[in-house]
Amino acid sequence: MTRCPRRKTTMPDTQTEIHPLFSGAPTTTAFRKLRKRIVRQTRDAIETYGMVERGAKWLICLSGGKDSYTLLAILHELKWRGLLPVDLLACNLDQGQPGFPATVLPEFLERMNIPHRIEYQDTYSIVKSKIPKSRTYCALCSRLRRGNLYRIAREEGCSAIVLGHHRDDILETFFMNLFHGGRLATMPPKLVNEEGDLFLYRPLAFVAEDDCARFANAMNYPIIPCDLCGSQDGLQRQQVKKILDAWEEHNPGRRNVMFRALMHARPSHLLDPALFDFASLALKSSADP
């Protein structure tokens, strides 16, 4: 596994220098700063967790939400600048949700000259038939979606599946596991699947959800809402999000502090004997020098 050399990221000065995904980008100072920040944070995550394997091919999972549009744009920005030496293939899995605007993403990707694959699999009906309305759909929906994406990645010769989960997703998952799962765990930025033949990457791991929203909205990308998970109220993730929002409101910057904590774990100051050999701890003998 090799990492691409660190080079200073520069933003284009004219519209003729940019990838089509950035055509019509706002020219305000605020947007330029936002864009630079997201690009920098994405590069930092890619380098920190060793995601780049030269000559590899990545399957970018495009749902049509703000996060996946941000992921698509920033990865193509990095590749456009010669900073990401991998091939990129965008993929949308149409899960058969009623009213899903099936033409939006294909037309957008064609217009942006983005290599892509659109796959139709009616997982919506499976989820609705197996999960009662009183239960959340997310777990089964995610498993079915992930299985199809693994299959597509193999068929396309990809070595990695790339998802648009951001910093806030990672924090929310940590607290969901803490409150409801009884474990300290979250979404890792880099993972190998159970079969051991595919990587799973989250390059937006350092990027705030609010920055993704501001970026996608400023670019006027055609956002497609999720009518399956998004149709249910009272989800655990929504509850955790409200808690984090309240903490952030009373203590601005709290999310960043908590996220840094996830990057500075001290096994000797936790309670898991599988991570630290507490039994072998011994006092220093008086005979020791």
Q: Which of 270, 273, 252, 250 is nearest to 262 (CA)?
A: 270
Q: pLDDT value at position 286?
A: 66
Residue at 3 is within a domain: no
The answer to whether the beta carbons of residues 167 and 209 sit under 8 Å apart is yes
How many structural domains comprise the chain? 1
Tell me, what amino acid is at 55? Answer: G
Dihedral, 46, 50, 54, 55 alpha carbons, nearest 10: -80
Q: In what order do the strands lie in the sheet with 87-94?
A: 116-120, 87-94, 57-61, 160-162, 199-201, 190-192
Judge residue 184's burial from the number of C-beta atoms within 10 Å of its C-beta, 0-12 exposed, 13-18 middle, 19 or more buried. Answer: middle
Nearest C-alpha neighbor of 145 from the set 45, 226, 51: 226
pLDDT score for 288: 63
> Rounded CA gap, 34 and 40, in Å?
10
d(CA 215, CA 229): 23
Task: Indicate whether 201 belongs to any domain.
Answer: yes
Asked if the structure places residue 205 within a domain, the reply is: yes
**Residue 119: inside a domain:** yes
Question: Which CATH number belongs to the domain containing residue 276 in this structure?
Answer: 3.40.50.620
With tokens 């019509």, the residue in question is 24
Residue 13 domain flag: no
Say what the pLDDT of residue 3 is.
Answer: 46
For residue 48, the enclosing domain spans 27-280
What are the distances in angstroms from CA 142 to CA 134, 179, 250?
A: 18, 21, 33
Summary count for the chain: helices (H), strands (E): 9, 6
Closest to 244 measured CA to CA, from 164, 165, 168 = 168
**Residue 16 lies inside a defined structural domain of this protein:** no
pLDDT at 287: 63
Predicted pLDDT at 7 = 47
Query: Is residue 18 one of the residues assigned to a domain?
Result: no
* Locus of tokens 């091919």: 57
Q: Please give the chain's pLDDT, 289 residues, in tens.
A: 444 445 444 444 444 457 889 988 999 999 999 999 999 999 999 999 999 988 899 999 999 999 999 999 999 999 999 999 999 999 998 887 777 888 999 999 999 999 999 999 888 888 888 777 767 767 778 788 888 999 999 999 999 999 999 999 999 999 999 998 999 999 999 999 999 999 999 999 999 999 999 999 999 999 987 655 544 445 788 899 999 999 999 999 999 999 999 999 999 999 999 999 999 999 987 666 6
Closest C-alpha to 145, from 222, 91, 105, 88: 91
